[in-house]
Every structure is written in structure tokens, then in C-alpha cells.
Amino acid sequence: MNQHHYVAIMAGGIGSRFWPKSRTGYPKQFLDILNTGKSLIQWTYERYAQFIPNENIYVVTSVEYVDIVATQLPNIPKENILAEPSKKNTAPCVAYISFKLLQKDPEASLIVAPADHMILDGETFRAIALKALDFVQQIKAIVTLGMTPTYPNTGYGYIQREALQAADGIYKVKTFTEKPTLEIAKTFFASGDFLWNAGIFMWQVKNIVKAFELYQPEMFELFDGEKEHYNTSEEQAAINRIYPLCTNVSIDYAIMEKADNVYVMPSSFGWSDLGAWNSAYDNLEKDYLGNAVASDNVIVIDATKCMVSAPSEKLLLLQGLDDFIVVDTPDVLMICKKEKEQAIKEYVAEVKRSKGDKYL
């Protein structure tokens, strides 16, 4: 393994579209959403541990989840679990780990990846990731992985690539587009020039820090001004000073959409971002009526195409529903049409308005 290769697993989100199973105090990245016996972050850690030295695996998470990470990932050093004092989207998260690593290892090459993605073909992913890490060592580049679309999905961002290869299997990025309308998604899909944005990035940390200096000078100044404290006992106090002053902004908007040295690798390795219940449905085995059941104690009668998640200690009998999401937890039962899954965030807001934080 290359000692200059690092990964930062981003694990600070609250996963509200997987409510009521995902809760603010214990969100989806720490749950066994697909009934596999492992949480999503455990799968993610094991994927990177195949080719990244264990001491170079970091998790950036919210301060309230540090103990959960330490429990679920006992093999990584405790000091590699970085605590964000507040939720400020992904740009401050990326800045934090990048400035920290620059102080530790100026030649570091970094993968930044979400904790809650599923990748079925680990060997292909490993080969692509190592190829990208090799590319960013040779060229001052930012690389993102683009998934070959299988249908016109409106829930993903899209990347348009240039026609000619910059290197074998690597293309300069032409444009980024956030979640499009269905008609635009159909156009993107038909053109063959667009890829789904997987949100997995590779770069040398010295180059992403330069990008922050160029495109996010205020954030650069905040992190650069505390650099002598990184990798010391003063690091957390420094981060606690920085974060309240940071803009709440994604790395896509802060850097990726502005930089002129962004490249994409078209990829296919059985990827899903597991963003909501329908993506879980897509990745679970179905019965002969098209039901996906993530539980060991559910009986389905005359129901079709349902997504069912329930605790095994209670029997759930489902009859007569078609195309529903059914999620049972000890204190909440949600029954929702699958076509309304994007509205679950709104339903959670309504729960908060009418019931307070008790069920969040």
C-alpha cells in the first residue's frame, strides 16, 4: 500500500429521507439499511481498507457521532475520527481534512467519499480509485468519478464530459448540472455525454488547498490561519473557532463547479448512493410480487412492489398494498406511497411542527 494515499469518509449527515429508521441521534450511515449484518459506514470502511493503510483512513463526522464511529470502526485510530462542531455541508469538511493532511504529509493524495454509498464491485472500484490517485500525482488535477447512467434519474447531479480523452479513461469536465427535471434528464441520458455525479473525489491535498485559496479565499484564510494547531492537542479548539465562521456550502459548488482542472472517470462498479427508500428498494432482493423486505419477520399477502423495513422482534403482516414504503420502528410507523419518497423530508418537518423533536 502507498503510504501517501489517504481516504476521508464523510459521515456527518442525518439521512432524513430514511426517516423514521434514520434519526438525528443515530442516522442512516450507522444503520444496517439493507439487512446485511453491517452498517453502511462499516461497508465503506472495509472497501477502502483493501488498498488504503489503516492509519490513513479518516472519518469526518459530527461531534455527537464520534462515539458511534469509534464503536462501529474499532480498528481505526481514535485520533482519525474528526469531530465537526456544527453541520456546514461538505466544503468545510473537505477543507478540514485537507489542511490537516497537508501539515502531516505534503505529498498526500486523498480520496473523499460519503459513508453511505453502496458499491457492489469492489475490485473494479479499487482499480479505478488507484488509477485516479496515480493520475492526480502526475497532473495538478481534481478527479471525480462519474457513473454511467442506466436511466434518466432526476435525483442525481450530472457531469458533462469533453469528447476527447485527457488520458486513458479520463476526461476533462465540461459542465456540472444539479438535479435536473425529467425532460432534461432524458436529454442528458440520450446524449451519452453525461454521467451521474457520484460525489467521490480524488486529489493531492496541496492542490485542493490551492483551489480553496483561489475559489474560497475566506474559507482558506480561516483554515490557513490555524494551521500550526493541526495534528496537535490544540486542533479541536482551532476547529471549534473556525466552523462558526464558515459558509454552509457544498464542495461541488465551492470548488468543483468553479475550478478549471476538474476531470471525470466514467465508471461502472455497481454504485448506488442509497439516498432514500426507493434506492434501498432497488438494491434489495424482491419476492415474486416485487416486494423488497428488509426484515426477518414479515408476512406479505397480496401486496406488490412494496419496500418494507421492520424490526425482527415484532411480526409485521402486510396485506393489499401496492407500491408503498412501509417502515416500522419501536415508536414510529410510516406508510407512504413510493412515488412520494422525495416528500419524506416535508413529512419530517410536519412531525417536528406538531410533535417536537421526540420522533426525530
Mean pLDDT score, 34-61? 95
pLDDT at 302: 94
Give 31's pLDDT tier (boundaries 50, 70, 90): very high
Could you tell me if 290 and 268 lie in one domain? no
pLDDT tens across 86-122, in order? 999 999 999 999 999 999 999 999 999 999 999 999 9
Higher pLDDT among residues 192 and 164, named by residue: 164
Could you tell me if 166 and 79 lie in one domain? yes
pLDDT at 101: 97
CB 33 within 8 A of CB 274: yes
Q: Look at residue 184 and tell me whether its pLDDT is greater than 90.
A: no
Q: What is the dihedral of CA 94, 100, 103, 106, to 10 degrees?
A: -40
pLDDT tens across 78-95, in order? 999 999 999 999 999 999
Mean of the per-residue pLDDT values of the chain: 93
In a domain, 316, yes or no: yes
- Compute the distance between CA of residue 295 and CA of residue 283 in angstroms, rounded to an integer: 14
pLDDT at 148: 87
Hey, is 188 helix, strand or coil?
A: helix
E strand intervals along the chain: 5-10, 57-62, 81-84, 109-114, 118-119, 142-147, 158-167, 170-177, 194-204, 262-267, 271-272, 292-294, 298-301, 307-309, 316-319, 324-328, 333-337
In a domain, 278, yes or no: no
**Percent of all residues in the chain with a pLDDT value above 70, rounded to a whole number:** 100
Residues 6+ apart with CB under 8 A from 114: 9, 10, 11, 13, 29, 44, 199, 200, 273
pLDDT at 90: 94
Could you tell me if 318 and 177 lie in one domain? no
pLDDT at 178: 83
Q: Look at residue 334 and tell me whether its pLDDT is greater than 80.
A: yes
Running DSSP on this structure, what letter comes out for residue 38?
Answer: S
Could you tell me if 235 and 288 lie in one domain? no
Domain end call among 241, 272, 303: 272
Give 344's pLDDT tier (boundaries 50, 70, 90): very high
Q: Cell 455527537, residue?
A: 64
Number of domains in the chain: 2
Hey, is 263 helix, strand or coil?
A: strand
- Compute the distance between CA of residue 104 and CA of residue 229 in angstroms, rounded to an integer: 11
pLDDT at 15: 84
pLDDT at 179: 81
Domain that holds residue 186: 5-272
Could you tell me if 58 and 121 lie in one domain? yes
Identify the CATH number of the domain in which residue 87 sits. Answer: 3.90.550.10
**CB hemisphere CA count around 143 (13 angstroms):** 28
Q: Look at residue 154 and tell me whether its pLDDT is greater than 80.
A: no
Residue 311 CB coordination number (10 Å): 13
pLDDT at 317: 95
In a domain, 360, yes or no: no
pLDDT at 80: 97
Residue 352 CB coordination number (10 Å): 13
Give 153's pLDDT tier (boundaries 50, 70, 90): confident
CB 143 within 8 A of CB 131: no
Q: Each residue of 126-137: b (16+ CB within 10 Å) or e?
A: bebbbbbbebbb
| CA dist 239 → 55, 88, 169, 249, 350 (Å) | 21, 12, 38, 17, 34
Could you tell me if 301 and 254 lie in one domain? no
pLDDT tens across 198-234, in order? 899 999 999 999 999 999 999 999 999 999 999 999 9
CB 316 within 8 A of CB 298: yes
Going by DSSP bridges, is the β-strand pair 194-204/109-114 parallel, antiparallel, or unpaired?
Answer: antiparallel
Mean pLDDT score, 325-350? 93
Could you tell me if 166 and 289 lie in one domain? no
Could you tell me if 134 and 191 lie in one domain? yes
Could you tell me if 323 and 232 lie in one domain? no
Could you tell me if 53 and 199 lie in one domain? yes
- Compute the distance between CA of residue 133 and CA of residue 141 in angstroms, rounded to an integer: 10
Q: Cell 478540514, residue?
A: 96
In terms of Cβ atoms closer than 10 Å to its own Cβ (0-12, 13-18, 19+), residue 103 is middle
pLDDT at 163: 86
Amino acid at 303: A
pLDDT at 189: 87
Domain end call among 252, 272, 292: 272
In a domain, 279, yes or no: no
Could you tell me if 250 and 322 lie in one domain? no
Give 166's pLDDT tier (boundaries 50, 70, 90): confident
Could you tell me if 247 and 206 lie in one domain? yes
Q: Each residue of 282-294: b (16+ CB within 10 Å) or e?
A: eebeeeeeebbbb
Give 312's pLDDT tier (boundaries 50, 70, 90): confident
